[in-house]
Amino acid sequence: MSDSTARILILDDDADVAYAARMLLRRRYGEVAVLHDPAQLNGVLARGMPDVVLLDFNFTPGRTDGAEGLAALDLLRRQPQPPAVIALTAYADVPLAVEALKRGAADFITKPWDNARLVAAVDSALARRRPATGPAMHGVSGLMGDSAPMQAVRAMIAGVAPTEANVMVLGENGVGKELVARALHAQSRRAAGTFLSVDMGALPESTFESELFGHRKGSFTDAKADRAGRFQAARGGTLFLDEIGNMPLAAQAKLLTVLERREVTPVGADRPESVDVRIVSATNLDEARLFDPGVFRADLLFRLNTIVVRVPPLRERRDDVPLLARHYLALSETQYGRPARSIAPAAVDALCGHPWPGNVRALRHACERAVILGAHAEYRIDDFGLAAIALPALAPMAPTAGQTAAGVAAVATAAAGAVREEATLSSLEREAIAAALAQAQGNISHAARMLGVSRAALYRKLDKHGI
Ligand SMILES: Nc1ncnc2c1ncn2[C@@H]1O[C@H](COP(=O)(O)OP(=O)(O)OP(=O)(O)O)[C@@H](O)[C@H]1O
């Protein structure tokens, strides 16, 4: 399965619910669209079939019988290549969920949902629906590239995947660490189980244990029902602990205890439950920082890094650039209904020579930009917006704790010279982001913290500015 090509449709009349689901899923999957009215479903399907539909069941205010959702489900199931449907039902509406399953829904989720559960349900619906194929893809991971360094990474994955060893994936932002983790899962004995990804840097310290280990009803004010944590949700599968380098030390101690004992105690429970998950972790910290005990506990590190897979930055495997560019151009051409175009030879050379501080993710965004803005018969280098992409790499500085957004903006201004009179709000935002990234040495989580926004919000802004 390749997350970057997965298309998800959320069909829910509640704008807040749809927005929350879209924000959650957008980082993981290629395209996440929202539709509020089932009457428009036919038109949307005619423009392209999603892989997974999250389907609400009541659209007209006051209706609770679920008939509108069941009709939409029937319509989806009648398509020549029907998407997998995950029913979104109210907490108590078990009969409706059962009816949806009988009519072909792949799964159901009760609202309000548990994020980990929802992602796990989408992942497994995708995995069941379509194994990724294609000459450039390898295995079922979507990990592309035939350069010598990528062949070495792939050989390492093939050797390590069938073992139960914990694996730590190292590499800069956007190099493909999550794809490596997915490849490890897909080639392991746990492939039929869940692959569950958790952003450890984004878990609030106050709910860390409840999110990871689950809780019992009544164990704290908001604990209205028993809830499984990520360790339980990934049972029999692989738990991908992303951004492990951003975990506070106190949380590291709790994680260490679980890994040592191989059991978790849900908050409010009086006895532990055994855990059956394989742990794959990832960080963009360089190894000097990772081995600094002030940043990361050595005992936890040794639990996690039985095997280390290093994913090289794109500038060290330039041979992969043309293949990746063609793949992502083709993907965006399909997505935006644009004609297929080739890349001018000079543009291929320039793409290969670019330093790509944001690695494959940045290349992907640059290709999307070229498809949208390119106005010639062939893609030219200007279409990719590369001069702008290089900006963050110009002034790398040591990260500064507690940096404020205003401070970063000021540094951006200094780095870029005096504020130009014609500078727009948007260009100031772009400069602030570029400066924050430079100061954080490309670490998205640190840059997001400096700017006072979430990682997901920063990714959206990187997307918007083509950084
Ligand atoms: N080898 C590759 N082949 C195809 N696509 C890739 C490859 N490497 C990365 N990508 C794409 O680049 C984007 C970033 O990949 P991924 O999320 O795996 O990187 P990451 O290293 O985990 O990033 P971060 O550290 O920011 O979380 C995704 O859209 C992914 O599909």
How much is the pLDDT for 91? 63
How much is the pLDDT for 394? 33
For the CA of 175, the nearest atom of ligand 1: 21
Kind and range of the H or E element at 90?
A: strand 84-90
Give the angle subtended at the CA of 452 by the CAs of 450 and 458, to the nearest 5°. 90
**Residue 81: partners with Cβ closer than 8 Å, 6 or more residues away:** 49
Is there a contact between 254 and 207 (Cβ–Cβ < 8 Å)? no
- Structural domains present in the chain: 3-129 (3.40.50.2300), 148-310 (3.40.50.300), 314-389 (1.10.8.60), 391-465 (no CATH)
CA of 178 to the centre of ligand 1 (A): 6
Cα separation, 87 vs 81, whole angstroms: 18
| Location of structure tokens 């803005």 | 373
Is there a contact between 75 and 57 (Cβ–Cβ < 8 Å)? no
**CB burial string 123-143: b at 16+ within 10 A, e below:** bbbbbebbebeeeebbbbbbb
CA of 100 to the centre of ligand 1 (A): 35
Q: How many CB atoms lie within 10 A of CB 179?
A: 21
CB of 141 within 6 A of ligand 1: the answer is: no
Question: pLDDT tens digits for the chain (467 residues)?
Answer: 446 678 999 999 988 889 999 988 988 888 899 999 999 998 888 878 899 999 999 998 888 888 999 999 999 988 877 899 999 887 667 778 878 887 888 888 888 888 878 888 888 787 666 443 333 333 435 789 989 999 999 999 999 999 989 999 999 989 999 999 999 999 999 988 888 888 888 788 888 888 899 888 877 777 777 778 889 888 889 999 999 988 888 899 999 999 999 999 998 989 999 989 999 999 998 888 888 988 899 999 999 998 999 999 999 999 999 999 999 999 888 888 889 999 999 999 999 999 998 899 999 999 999 999 999 999 999 999 885 444 343 333 333 333 344 434 433 433 344 344 435 667 778 878 888 887 777 777 778 877 777 676 787 677 667 67
Cα separation, 167 vs 189, whole angstroms: 15
How much is the pLDDT for 405? 42
Kind and range of the H or E element at 435?
A: helix 425-439
How much is the pLDDT for 412? 40
Q: Provide the Cα torsion 217, 220, 221, 224; round to 10°.
A: -20
Nearest-CA residue for ligand 1 atom 15 is 176
Q: What is the CA radius of gyration of the chain?
A: 23
For the CA of 150, the nearest atom of ligand 1: 1
CA of 323 to the centre of ligand 1 (A): 15
For the CA of 459, the nearest atom of ligand 1: 26
CB of 281 within 6 A of ligand 1: the answer is: no
CB of 364 within 6 A of ligand 1: the answer is: yes
CB of 445 within 6 A of ligand 1: the answer is: no
How much is the pLDDT for 68? 93
